Amino acid sequence: MTTNTRRVALSQHRTGTESTVGLTAIDKVDLPSLDAGQVLVRTTYLQLTAVTADLMRQDPGLPMPGYQLREAPWGPAVGTVVESRDPALPVGTEVVHRAGWQEYAVLTSAQAYPVDKALPAAYYALNQGVTAYHGIVDIAEVKPGDVVFVSGAAGGVGSLAGQIAKAVGATKVIGSAGSAAKVDYLTGELGFDAAINYRDGDLLGQLRAAAPDGIDVFFDTVGGDTFEAAVQAAAYAARFALCGALAGQLDSGVGAHPRLDIMTAIVKELVIKPFPTPHTPAQIQAWNSHYGRWLASGEIAYPATILDGGLDVAASALDELLAGKHRGNVLIRF
């Protein structure tokens, strides 16, 4: 049995928008011996998400536990069982777990779940589809005929949210991204009907040109100027589903605190519904019941950037994710 593991540990809390590289260090710790019902899992892929940076704060103010100093961050991952004292998880089983910032982890069957064998590869289990599905279907209640606008559309959540909106019948899906390459990616590979580059300026003008009759749904992962433009471009009784404020993670000023034109919101009777991202078993099951079928039919694609290097590149890759360098779900291959 492997007796120790390398891991990334949090050495100090995040206080602003500083790089996460300087907040972490790689160390080595001993692993406990396996008890009955436990397995030793070797991590093969770690998923990076923007909320990781928020959880590095001493008081993240989120409905999920923040990271403790001198401990490894928790995060979604897949791995392979290399030693087992649980007959339900024999050696060789590929599992999903949340101890991804370490190369090996001792887990129980309540902490490691077999990967759905119907998926094309184990890492397909690492996605942010539950958030995207819940926001599009339950919060925004997208229906046939809707014009949907998705901010941060090339990211892990947004890239699935736009595809899900199309799959449930939206007439037009518009995405925003920060480069010409990402705009082409949204329309050329993910099936978005239109996409705008917010770095080109006049975000509101671009949005009105793409949706001349207004947007019926706004799925927001960014906040900031994008939220303000969506309010102005909204159709009557538009529904806003808010699940992130990436602009605030990059800029602690206005990005985290967009201005709401209250009179416009009143006149248009906008429905603005923020929602947190921890999910119930029912929400997870709702996504899983559609995910494999939509993949198989080609109605959605799995958007991902896979980076090699394991733990040695994890913190720098998180900085790159926050800066918008990558697209889709960002995975680190061990």
- In the prediction, which pLDDT does 310 show? 96
Contact 127/159 with Cβ under 8 angstroms? no
Does residue 308 fall inside a structural domain? yes
Nearest CA to 25 out of 7, 44, 13, 43 is that of: 7
Query: Is the same domain home to 176 and 192?
Result: yes
Calpha distance 260→274 (Å, rounded): 14
Domain check: are 152 and 235 in the same one?
Answer: yes
Residues 170 and 204 in one domain: yes
Q: What is the pLDDT of residue 255?
A: 55
| Rounded Cα–Cα distance for residues 129 and 329 (Å) | 10
Q: Cα torsion at 47, 185, 302, 161 (round to 10°)?
A: 80
Say whether both 136 and 211 belong to one domain. yes
Give how far Cα 51 sits from Cα of 54, 67, 200, Å: 5, 11, 27
Picking from 255, 274, 293, the residue at the C-terminal end of a domain is 274
Angle, vertex CA 313, rays to CA 322 and CA 284, nearest 5? 60
Domain boundary at 237, 259, 274, which?
A: 274
For 245, which DSSP code? Answer: -
Number of domains making up the chain: 2
145 & 15 share domain? no
Domain assignment of residue 122, yes or no: yes
- Same domain assignment for residues 204 and 230: yes
Whether 89 maps to a domain, the answer reads: yes
Is residue 212 situated within a structural domain? yes
185 and 224 within one domain:
yes
Helices (H), the chain: 51-55, 129-133, 158-167, 180-188, 203-210, 224-233, 246-250, 262-268, 281-297, 311-322
- On whether both 20 and 104 belong to a single domain, the answer is yes
pTM for the full model? 0.90
Tell me how far apart the alpha carbons of residues 287 and 244 are, in angstroms, rounded to a whole number.
19
Does any domain span residue 11? yes
Domain match, 135 and 120 both: no
The conformational region for residue 271 under phi > 0 = left, psi -120 to 50 = alpha, else beta, is beta
297 falls within a domain: no
Last residue of a domain, one of 274, 295, 324: 274
Provide the 10 A C-beta neighbour count for residue 47: 23
Q: Note whether 191 and 319 are same-domain residues.
A: no
Identify the CA nearest to 147 among candidates 189, 201, 203, 193: 193
Separation CA 280–CA 277 (nearest Å): 10
Is the domain of 48 the same as that of 123? yes
Domain match, 36 and 159 both = no
Owning domain of residue 204: 129-274
Give phi and psi for 258, each to the nearest 5.
Answer: -65, 150
Could you tell me the mean pLDDT of each successive run of 10 residues in the chain, 334 residues long? 91 90 95 96 96 90 88 95 97 96 96 93 96 97 98 95 98 96 96 96 96 98 94 98 72 67 97 89 93 94 96 96 91 97
User: CATH code at 88?
Assistant: 3.90.180.10
CATH of the domain at 202: 3.40.50.720
Does residue 253 sit within a domain? yes
HSE-up (13 A, CA, CB side) for residue 245 = 18
Tell whether 318 is covered by a domain: yes
